[in-house]
Structure formats: C-alpha cells, structure tokens
A and B are shown apart, each in its own frame.
Chain A
Amino acid sequence: MFLKMEEVGKTFNDKESGGFEVFSEIDLNIEENQFVSLLGPSGCGKSTLLSMVAGLEDVTSGSIKLEGKEIKKAGPDRGMVFQQPSLFPWLNVKENVLFPLKGHGAKNEIEERADRFLQMVHLSRFKENYTHELSGGMQQRVAIARALAMDPKVLLMDEPFGALDEQTRHILHEELMKIWQETQKTILFVTHSIQEAIKLSDRVVVMGTRPGRIIADFSIDLPRPRKRDDERVIELERKVMDLLEGEINKVLREELHHEASY
C-alpha cells in the first residue's frame, strides 16, 4: 500500500486537563495516484491527521508509512498546501517556487522546473511580482506550484480553497483537476465542504467527531467533470449530509448540555 495509516492516534498534551485525545485507532490506506478527500465537521481531527502525514505533528500511537517507510518528520516527499498560502513575502513569485529546489540541481535546471510549474498554474506572467501584489487565488496557485515543483510523492492539501470566494474556488477546482490529471500525483485533500469533496475526489473518507474517527468511506466512480446538478452527485451529497448531520447534532447537543451543567 502506498500510504498506510495503522491504528493512528493523537493526544494533545494539556497541562490542566492532562491530555486531549483527538482520535485513536485510525486505519486508512491510500492508493497511489488517487485523489482522496478527508471530510468532516470541525474538531474531528482531519487537519491534525493531515499534519501528521506531513510530519508537522507527532504521531502519538500507531504508525503512518509512505511506501513502507515510517513518517517521523516533515520532508520534501510530501508537499503541503495550507489554507493560508504561506508564501515568503520577501521573495517574488518565482523565487518562492524555487525555494524548495535550491541546492537540488543545477541553476538552469531548477529554474526551468520552476517555470514549468508556474506555467502549469498559469502564472508565468506574474513570476517577477511580489506575492502581496497577487490576489488570494493567485497566491494559492503559487503555493500549489511550489509544492508540486519539488516533485513530492503525495500532495497534502489542508482546506486550500477555504478562504477563497465561490467564483475563484470554482476556477481553482478545475485547475486542480487538470494538474492532477497531468501530474498523476496522489492527493490527500482535507475539506469540510461536501460538494467540494464529491466534485473532486476518487474517494471520500468521512470523519466523525468526539471522538474523531472514520464513519464512512465512499468510492466515487463518476466521470469528470462532475456537474452539481448530476443526480448521482446529488444523491451522494444527501447520503453524506445525513451522516454528518448526526455528527454535528451530537456536537451541538454536547455543547448545550455542557452549558446547562453550569
């Protein structure tokens, strides 16, 4: 298996209450070249799990293996795109894409590489610009180019379009689909949008909360591009919605109960 998570658990240390368990015993296997979404309400630990795959968070229990090798720390074999573009403001667009490539090849070779990925996200025209001169959507495209330029085995995306307006998000969905088909990357995509997950993914892993766990796993075998008014899409959306509604209600009830006990 390409990316294998076995009985993965995460507990945050908290001085006051001792510890807060986000989830435990998560088992998830992801095949190469697949586009997999992690979908769930806030607090289910989907972003935490992604950060653990990235190596930015420690694994409390269990193991995460990429091509059989256990993940201990962050590395360029796993590219990450965050909700905030996280570009370096003192570098221009091209220099940002070059950042992870520095020292990994001859100068003209890596420059050519950076140019190629900037072209892929249609930003060749802006490569001399500073990042704060770009719109949010453009910045996020730079971040995608930067992550792809280092040729990671898997691309991790943490609600990458969450902070963008509807229009821009729609355009970026299409661009991401093209990029994915072109590069054949394995993508692990975290989102709380049901529509987004169904529109993009080969597979949607639905997570529940308190405790965080996997509650459903859908394979989506519909041809792309997927239309919002496609009946099969609507049907899937409804199914996932029903599942999540229970989870969200549970959180609300717990919070209300908590409130009442004071």
Chain B
Amino acid sequence: MKLAIKRIGFLVVVLGLWQLVYSIGVFEDIVFPSPIQVGGALYEGFADGDFIKALGASFRHLFMGLSLAILFGTVIGVLLGKSKQADETAGMYLIALQSIPSIVWVPLAIMLFGFSEFAVVFVVVLGGTFVMALNVRTAIYSVPPQLVRAARTMGTNGIPLFFRVEVPSSIPYFMTGLRLAWAFSWRALMAGELLSNGPGLGYSLRYAQDYARMDQVVAIIIIIGVIGAVVDQVVFSKLERNVRKRWGLLKS
C-alpha cells in the first residue's frame, strides 16, 4: 500500500512539472502538448479505434518476429553451446551481431523487402535472434557437469541425456533469454515500424508527427512504454521468477 502511494505520488509530481513547463511556455504550444491534451489524444485514439488497430498490427508483427527469433535463436544457441567447433568458428560474430542496434537493419530491410510488413518482421527477427542465441548458449553451458555425470551413471546418454537433463536444466537461462528477446524485439519493432508504411504503432507515431499532432505522439510514446513495462512484469519477469523459484535458484 505504501509502495502504491509512493509511486502515484511520483507520477503526480512528474505531471505537475510537465504542466508547469507547459504553462510557463518554454516551448511553443504546437511542439509541446499539455498533459490534458495528451490525455485527450489517448482517449480519442482508443475511442475511435485507431490505436487499437495500430496495436493489433504491432502485436501481429511482434508475434511473428519474436516467434521466429526464439526459434532461430534457440537453434543457433544450442548449436554453439553443444559444438565447440561451431562456437570457435561463429561464436565471436554472434556478439558483434548482437551489438548492432536493430534500427541499423531498417534501410537494408526496406531495400530488400520494400515498405512491406515483412520488412518490419525481418527487423524484429534480427532484433531478437542474437540475444536469444547468446542466452541459449549460456543456458547450455550452465548445465552442471555433476548432473550429467549422475545421469550417465544411470545409463542415460546421448539424445535422452540432452532432452531429460540438459534441456530442463537450462530452462531458467532460457527464460532469461525469452525476456531479453522480447525486450529487444519490442524496440526493434518500433524502429522498424517508425520507418515503415504501416500499419502499426510506430507508423502511427510518425504519421502523427507528420501532421504535427504532438499530443498523439506523446500519447503513443506512453502506450509503448506502458506495454513494454506491463508485458515484462506480467508475463516474462513473472515467468522467469516462477521458474527460478521452482528450480531452487531463488529463496522463496
């Protein structure tokens, strides 16, 4: 309860400062909307369904891109984790690829696939795959050798060993990979959509900018932030915490 009060209090202070800056007139009204204008834009956007449609499109891109990123990332990660040869050959490049901000891929995606939704999905895939692969590789490395030894004394080898010991043992790290892949993909999605021809939340944002509707721009930024936080907290962090608790890695 006290926590809620603290957080709401903080929000009120921020809104107050915002209103203050607006009232003093530091920026022109057309580039700096007031909190009330943004609230209005939020209401309007949801009421006439524009934001809902944009959100639907964004989630469609995200779902496709993230699913593929998880699939590719897992395959690459397992390959690098299991094969020393593969890791020595390609492992280093994975870190290089991971360090490339996903917006950098956008021009390439547009040239390759045009202003299509597929171009956006492509960027999302690139945004999530490498971080997923890195975490899956770590997950495979993190399997305690002691558990593998124990399983071998029970006659478990080869493929059964992989599926009965290595896979379940690496699930906590896999979950971390999922959470990070989501976070990176979400950022990549916005970068991709911002430069796309829509539909999508990022596209709506640029569209609003083109028409100098800064109240809508700020409203969409808020939506992006809220969704990012809520999905992380409600889905991925929670999932990760539950798994870690269940695996005995967290004090309950």
The chain A residues found within 8 Å of chain B, CB to CB, are: 54-56, 73-76, 78-80, 82, 84, 86, 88-90, 99-100, 102, 130-133, 146-147, 150, 156
Contact = CB atoms under 8 A, between A and B. Distances in A.
Contacts of A132: 247-248
B241 to A, nearest CB: 15
A86 B146 contact: yes
Nearest to B150: A86
Interface of B: 144, 146-147, 149-157, 164-165, 168-169, 171, 246-249
B152 A74 contact: yes
A34 B171 CA distance: 42
B153 A80 contact: yes
Contacts, number: 63
Contacts of B247: 89-90, 132
Judged by DSSP, the binding face of B is: helix
B246 A90 contact: yes
B146 A88 contact: no
Contact of A86 (B149, B171, B249): B149
Contact of A130 (B144, B150, B164, B246): B246
A100 B164 CA distance: 11
A84 B147 CA distance: 10
A82 B146 contact: yes
B152 A86 contact: no
Nearest to A149: B154
A79 B153 contact: yes
B154 A76 contact: yes
B133 to A, nearest CB: 23
A90 B152 contact: no
B148 to A, nearest CB: 9
Contacts of A99: 151, 154, 156, 164
A141 to B, nearest CB: 15
Contacts of A150: 154-155
Given A84-B146, A88-B165, A90-B168, A131 B248 contact: yes
28 contacts: A55-B152, A55-B153, A56-B149, A56-B153, A73-B152, A74-B155, A75-B155, A79-B154, A80-B150, A82-B146, A86-B144, A86-B146, A86-B147, A88-B168, A88-B169, A89-B169, A89-B247, A90-B168, A90-B169, A90-B246, A99-B156, A100-B154, A100-B155, A131-B248, A132-B248, A133-B248, A146-B154, A147-B153
Given A74-B153, A78-B153, A99-B151, 9 more contacts: A73-B152, A74-B155, A76-B154, A86-B149, A88-B168, A89-B247, A146-B154, A147-B153, A156-B153
Contacts of A56: 149, 152-153
Contacts of B152: 55-56, 73-74
8 smallest beta-carbon distances between A and B, as pairs = A132-B248, A100-B154, A76-B155, A86-B150, A80-B153, A74-B152, A89-B248, A90-B168
A56 B144 CA distance: 15
Given A89-B248, A90-B247, A132-B248, A82 B149 contact: yes
A149 B198 CA distance: 62
